[in-house]
Amino acid sequence: MSELTPKTMGQQFGRRSWAEPWKIKMVEPLTVTSREQRERALTEAGYNTFLLRSEDVYIDLLTDSGTNAMSDRQWAGIMLGDEAYAGSRNFYHLEEAVQTYYGYKYMVPTHQGRGAEHLISQVAIKHGQYVPGNMYFTTTRLHQELAGGIFVDVIIDEAHDATSLHPFKGNIDLDKLKALIKREGAGRIAYVSLAGTVNMAGGQPVSLANVKALRALCDQHGLKIYLDATRMMENAFFIQEREAGYADHSIAAILKEFCGYTDGAWMSAKKDNLVNIGGWLAVNDSDLFEEIRNLVVVYEGLHTYGGLAGRDMEAMAIGIAEGVQDAHIRSRIGQVRYLGELLTDWGIPIVLPIGGHAIFLDARRFYPHIPQSEFPAQTLAAELYLDSGIRSMERGVVSAGRDPETGDHHYPKLELTRLTIPRRVYTQAHMDVVAESVKAVYDVRAQTRGLKMVFEPKYLRFFQARFERL
């Protein structure tokens, strides 16, 4: 494999562009605001982009979650909603899509990813057990902790270094996992929590070699692997691009092979599955499934709708088949890279390699004069909004929350501001506008001051915390 730089990674596209494999049939007008309007909106929102009204936002890069544009086929599927309480035909279509493309045997729908995280955590974690994972995700770790689990980060060290060009920064460090097994014994480990394209690391993939080796290690110790499949189709793209022997395999084939090394998966369908709401939980073990099927009734809804309308399940089943197409993923990641390359060309510090779903601005290097206790990534999100009405999100000390034992802030090595690209929503011209705004904020960085937190909710504080300018 040749050395990876943002440029060489784009070369697999060759002379040909990654242009979108679709055209636009319906448009949604955007609002452009004045600087004064944005100053007012941001003050009202306590400098937290989650608390802005979307009407006050111009280009919304808060998240790629539930913000996808559905296709004409999916909208047609909405009209085929079978809104029966039990046994909706849309459920069977969804079940078939999960079995066909992900390969798991049994599945329940959930209202979104965290509904599935809740269920798997409740059935698979005993109080006091460890849950090793390749970096944490906010809702995933919280559900594991609420079930009595203790999260342990076993991702490779490179993942915590925004500048490392390792091609699979999402990989599990098997030595870290072995050390945990040796120290605590396999009986004290609930399961391995493996995520595709690790969100908090910058959308960084896991290799097939890594999951194969992980499977072998887990088999030696009788451990299960459950996969966060939220952005697994994007992970498959990176395997196709970077892992020897996979260039000729389709995304669909790689996805299925990867999932085959795991015992089950939870899914936030609001990402890769190209819908606005929904999730699912799938496993291969029939006894475990019986427990899940029972618990879903308590928290989500009957096991054939899990908190969703029939039409939502139909859109999801169609979205799964669309999302796994090579041409789709290629243009999806091509667009993310296009934005990333504009920024790196201007010397703006971002997490490299460019990941699957977002550009992560490295707020430590962007604002070296703002200490982490003054929330540099939160500050950067606020400044970007003020400059142009672009909405981004903090993924640093605010998102990391507090240590449940000591009550101190977690101080993650990565202090990032995420520009997340919704699927099939914005154009290349929007990406130009975004890059120019980041550049404008970068040019005046030395004058920028940090923030102080003036309100902090107990759970997942980044969603509702409030700040003031220092």
CB of 445 to ligand F0G, least distance (A): 25
Which tokens in the block code for residue 295?
A: 């618990």
CB of 399 to ligand F0G, least distance (A): 10
List 102, 385, 462, 467, catalytic entry: 462
**Of the two residues 114 and 430, which places its CB atom closer to ligand F0G in the complex?**
114
User: Does 395 qualify as catalytic in the annotation?
Assistant: yes
CA angle 454, 66, 201 (to 5 degrees): 65
Residues that bind ligand F0G (CB under 6 A): 63, 65, 112-114, 137, 139-140, 195, 199, 228, 230, 268, 270, 279
- Whether the ω angle into residue 353 lies within 30 degrees of 0, i.e. cis, is yes
**Of the two residues 69 and 80, which places its CB atom closer to ligand F0G in the complex?**
69
Helical axes 89-101 vs 310-323, angle rounded to 10°: 20
**Are the beta carbons of 58 and 31 closer than 8 angstroms?**
yes
List 47, 104, 137, 360, catalytic entry: 137
176: exposed, middle or buried (C-beta count within 10 Å: 0-12, 13-18, 19+)? middle
List 395, 418, 423, 461, catalytic entry: 395
**Of the two residues 90 and 199, which places its CB atom closer to ligand F0G in the complex?**
199
C-alpha–C-alpha distance, residues 312 and 316, integer Å: 6
C-alpha–C-alpha distance, residues 67 and 414, integer Å: 25
Q: What is the CA radius of gyration of the chain?
A: 21
**Of the two residues 61 and 370, which places its CB atom closer to ligand F0G in the complex?**
61
CB of 278 to ligand F0G, least distance (A): 8
**Of the two residues 374 and 394, which places its CB atom closer to ligand F0G in the complex?**
394
CB of 291 to ligand F0G, least distance (A): 21
Q: 226 - beta bridge partners?
A: 193, 264
**Of the two residues 199 and 335, which places its CB atom closer to ligand F0G in the complex?**
199
User: Does 312 qualify as catalytic in the annotation?
Assistant: no
CB of 217 to ligand F0G, least distance (A): 23
List 35, 85, 157, 463, catalytic entry: 85
Using the 8-state DSSP alphabet, how is residue 268 labeled?
A: E
285: exposed, middle or buried (C-beta count within 10 Å: 0-12, 13-18, 19+)? middle
**Of the two residues 112 and 204, which places its CB atom closer to ligand F0G in the complex?**
112
C-alpha–C-alpha distance, residues 385 and 15, integer Å: 35
**Of the two residues 267 and 370, which places its CB atom closer to ligand F0G in the complex?**
267
User: Does 228 qualify as catalytic in the annotation?
Assistant: yes
Using the 8-state DSSP alphabet, how is residue 353 labeled?
A: S
Say which residue the tokens 């979650």 belong to. Answer: 65
CB of 417 to ligand F0G, least distance (A): 13
Please, what's the b/e burial string for 305-335 (b: 16 or more CB within 10 A of its CB; e: otherwise)?
bbbbbbbbbbbbbbbbebbbeeebbbbbbbb
CB of 139 to ligand F0G, least distance (A): 5
User: Does 91 qualify as catalytic in the annotation?
Assistant: no
**Are the beta carbons of 121 and 103 closer than 8 angstroms?**
no
Q: Which residue is nearest to ligand F0G (CB)?
A: 113
Which helix H or strand E contains 382, and what residues bound it? helix 376-388
C-alpha–C-alpha distance, residues 78 and 311, integer Å: 5
C-alpha–C-alpha distance, residues 110 and 307, integer Å: 6
Say which residue the tokens 């296709």 belong to. Answer: 71
C-alpha–C-alpha distance, residues 61 and 437, integer Å: 13
User: Does 443 qualify as catalytic in the annotation?
Assistant: no
**Are the beta carbons of 251 and 233 closer than 8 angstroms?**
yes
CB of 274 to ligand F0G, least distance (A): 13
User: Does 462 qualify as catalytic in the annotation?
Assistant: yes
Ordered alpha helix ranges (H), 64-201: 72-78, 89-101, 113-124, 138-146, 174-184
User: Does 271 qualify as catalytic in the annotation?
Assistant: yes
List 60, 64, 228, 263, catalytic entry: 228
List 138, 197, 262, 304, catalytic entry: 138
Which residues participate in catalysis according to the annotation?
85, 137-138, 228, 271, 395, 462
